Every structure is written in structure tokens, then in C-alpha cells.
Amino acid sequence: MSVRYFTDQSSGMVLLAGNSHMELAKLVSERLGIKLGETIVYNKTNRETSVEIKQSVRGKHVFILQSGSKDVNNNIMELMILIYACKTSMAKTITVVMPYLPYSKQCRMLRRSSIPMKLIADMMCNSGATRIVSLDLYRKEIQGFFSVPVDNLRASPFLLQYIKENIPDYKNAVIVAKNPGVMNKATSYADRLRLGVAVIHGEQKVVEESDLEDGRQSPPLDKSNENLTTFELFPAQVAKEKPPLTVVGDVGGRIAIMVDDIIDDAQSFVVVAQVLKNRGAYKIYVIATHGLLSADAPDLLESSPITEVIVTNTVPHEVQKLRCHKIKTVDISSMLCEAVRRIYHNESMGQMFRGVTIGD
């Protein structure tokens, strides 16, 4: 039986939600014991987003729950207008609870692109948000993009509990990082489960010079200007080339548990799973916080050697589960409720990170 944190409807808190994840919003509302505030959020015939809040938020502590689903750009506009509507209605504080932060993977400069995540952060702050609560940000540095406090919660305690309770013989498992960039997270999980670690190294394609992640490239040198330094003074750039995929570590006769932050395009997970199977792993699990599972990802996972895919309910994926019975969901609504309660009562958030390591 769930604990209700609040029962007085005259409290100074208002809980609102956009259309991105109403199932999660209802879970949070039920656990808190507070009805969702009545809002009308819809698209007009000209595709503009319209928001109307049907109750007073003047002087209230407003919490807005919105995530990023398949209609991500619409979700963002809904959120911005909701925040702005609360700001212009004189809400005392506006806390955005966004379990999955859209555009978080676009948080660094690649070639001639921009950094859209910084733009989203500025939009949220300028709209009137006074605090952000999210879960397992793609990069911890994203917290610095915001000019307001950001609480980056961790799902690892819930996922570790799932492993212990639902994966038979997990003591015979090895935690796998599907690339070196996930090694810190894999090590963090392995340490708390007292398991070994393996890492996948290499890739199947050659990265072209134009794909180097060193910022923007200069235009061709103007040969008519003799005062300019020629490229002949610099060493020639060598294209980055990695060997084929290989497993560093022993997975033979073991259960392989791949960990990551986000599962979107499942192709890379399926390829790694096949490599692990070829190396002798007899069961393969994939665990991640955010299960976006875009496009044909459910079909790829269903036909793959992967035994089970465990994700949290930060984004809705009920439709994907109909196409892939391997997808299992871990509910994190209780953590969001506790975060909301602590923020509302001005309590320390330190207890929310108990048992969390720097690698998470």
C-alpha cells in the first residue's frame, strides 16, 4: 500500500502535468495524495500549442511533471508555456520534474553543429522555472547549463534491486560496458553487486576525418594570400580507425548484464549481444534508465539474443512493450515523490543520493 505524503488539499502545493507521460503523473499524484491540477493542453487547428490552467496558482509552490516522449518538440513547447503561465500567474516557485531531459545527447559541439541542450536549458530558465529535477542526465555537466538549481537523481538503486530480485544466479554475472565511455557506470554497478567487469572495445566502421569531434573545421586555405601559413607546416591528420568489436574480459559461461543510460536505437545493443553470445555468455540482459526505443528498436530486440531489457518508466513505452515481450519496466515514481516532498518542505536532498557512487 503506497504512502500518501499529503492529504490536505489546501496545502501550498500544486501538481501539474503536460501530455507527455500521464501514467507517471497519475502515479506521482496518487503517492503524494494530491490531485493533479486541472489543465487544458492541446494543439489548435494551426498546430500552435495552447495551455490553460483551471485553478489559481498565485503564491503556490508549483511542480510541473513533463517528460520527453515520441512527440518531443511538442512536449517542450507544452512545458515552456506551462512554466510561463505559472510565472505570469504569480506562482511562488516553479519546479520542473522532467525525468528524461530531451536533447540531452546534443550537449557538446560536433563538427559544425550547435549545442541544442544549452538552448533548451536557457528556454526553461527564461520561461520562469526556479528548479529542475531530472534523472540520470546523459552528461553530469548538463547541470551547469542551467542558471537555476538542478537535482540529478539516480535510478541505480532501483535497477540494482531489480537485478538482485529478478535475475536468477546474478552472482554468476559480469557487468558489461558496451563501449569504454560507459566503463564508470559499469564499474559502479559491479562494485555494489560484487561482480566482475567486461568492456567492449572497437567498432565496425572507420570514422572519417569529417567526423572528428574537435569542433568546427576551417575552410580551404586561400592560396592567393601568401602571408597565410600553409598546412604543410603541420603533421597530416590520420583518420581514426578502431579494430573490430572485441570483448575485454571473460564472459564465457556467465550471465552478461549490459548497463547504459539510454536505449534509443537498439542496433548497437543487438550487435554487442551477438558478440557476447559468440564469446560464451548464456544469458544477456540490458539495463538502462531511459527506454526511448525509437523506430524499429522493439522488433530488433525481440529477434535478438538478448534475454531481457530492463528500463524505468521515465518515458512511456507501453506501445513498444506490445511489440517486444522482453521489455520490463521498473517504477521510479516513489523517488520522484520523495524528491517533491523534500523540495516542498525545504529538506536536504542528500538522502536521495545515499548509496549512489560517483560513477552513476
Are 259 and 133 in the same domain?
Answer: no
Are 138 and 287 in the same domain?
Answer: no
Does residue 101 belong to any structural domain of this protein? yes
Q: Quote the pLDDT of residue 239.
A: 67
Q: Quote the pLDDT of residue 211.
A: 42
Confidence at 222, pLDDT banded by 50, 70, 90 = low
Per-residue pLDDT for 154 more than 50? Answer: yes
Are 191 and 98 in the same domain?
Answer: no
- Compute the mean pLDDT over every residue in the chain, rounded to the nearest whole number: 89
C-alpha cell at 254: 556467465
Q: Quote the pLDDT of residue 8.
A: 47
Does residue 196 belong to any structural domain of this protein? yes
Confidence at 113, pLDDT banded by 50, 70, 90 = confident
Confidence at 1, pLDDT banded by 50, 70, 90 = very low
β-partners of residue 61 are 13, 93
Are 178 and 251 in the same domain?
Answer: yes
Per-residue pLDDT for 205 more than 80? Answer: no
Does residue 251 belong to any structural domain of this protein? yes
Higher pLDDT, 295 or 132: 132
Does residue 179 belong to any structural domain of this protein? yes
Give the CATH number for residue 76.
Answer: 3.40.50.2020
Are 344 and 310 in the same domain?
Answer: no
Per-residue pLDDT for 276 more than 90? Answer: yes
Q: Quote the pLDDT of residue 174.
A: 98
Q: Quote the pLDDT of residue 359.
A: 80
Per-residue pLDDT for 212 more than 50? Answer: no
Confidence at 356, pLDDT banded by 50, 70, 90 = confident
Are 116 and 193 in the same domain?
Answer: no
Q: Quote the pLDDT of residue 232.
A: 60
Q: Quote the pLDDT of residue 243.
A: 77
C-alpha cell at 131: 528548479
Does residue 221 belong to any structural domain of this protein? no
Are 195 and 326 in the same domain?
Answer: yes
Q: What is the mean pLDDT of residues 122-139?
A: 97
Q: Quote the pLDDT of residue 152.
A: 96
Can you list the positions of beta strands (E) in the chain? 13-17, 39-43, 49-53, 61-65, 93-97, 131-135, 150-153, 173-177, 196-201, 246-248, 255-263, 283-291, 308-312, 327-330
Does residue 120 belong to any structural domain of this protein? yes
Are 166 and 186 in the same domain?
Answer: yes
* C-alpha–C-alpha distance, residues 334 and 356, integer Å: 17
Q: What is the mean pLDDT of residues 316-345?
A: 96
Calculate the dihedral angle through the C-alpha atoms of 328, 333, 339, 341, rounding to the nearest 10 degrees. Answer: -160
Kindly report the backbone phi and psi dihedral angles of residue 167, in degrees, each rounded to the nearest multiple of 5, phi listed first.
Answer: -110, 105
Does residue 230 belong to any structural domain of this protein? no
Q: Quote the pLDDT of residue 235.
A: 73
Please choose, from the candidates 309, 352, 323, 320, the residue with its C-alpha nearest in 3D space to the C-alpha of residue 166: 309
Q: Quote the pLDDT of residue 112.
A: 81
Measure Cα distances from 245 to 15, 228, 330 in Å.
47, 43, 30
* % of the chain with per-residue pLDDT over 70: 87
Domain coverage including residue 301: 157-203+242-330
Are 147 and 288 in the same domain?
Answer: no
Q: Quote the pLDDT of residue 202.
A: 83
The single residue listed with the C-alpha cell 560513477 is 359
Are 177 and 126 in the same domain?
Answer: no
pLDDT per position as a tens digit, 48-94: 999 999 999 999 999 999 998 889 999 999 999 999 999 999 999 99
Are 303 and 288 in the same domain?
Answer: yes
Are 185 and 110 in the same domain?
Answer: no
Confidence at 206, pLDDT banded by 50, 70, 90 = very low
Q: What is the mean pLDDT of residues 204-222?
A: 48
Confidence at 4, pLDDT banded by 50, 70, 90 = low
Does residue 284 belong to any structural domain of this protein? yes
Q: Quote the pLDDT of residue 7.
A: 47
Number of domains, the chain: 2
Backbone φ/ψ region at 76: left (φ over 0), alpha (ψ -120 to 50), beta = alpha
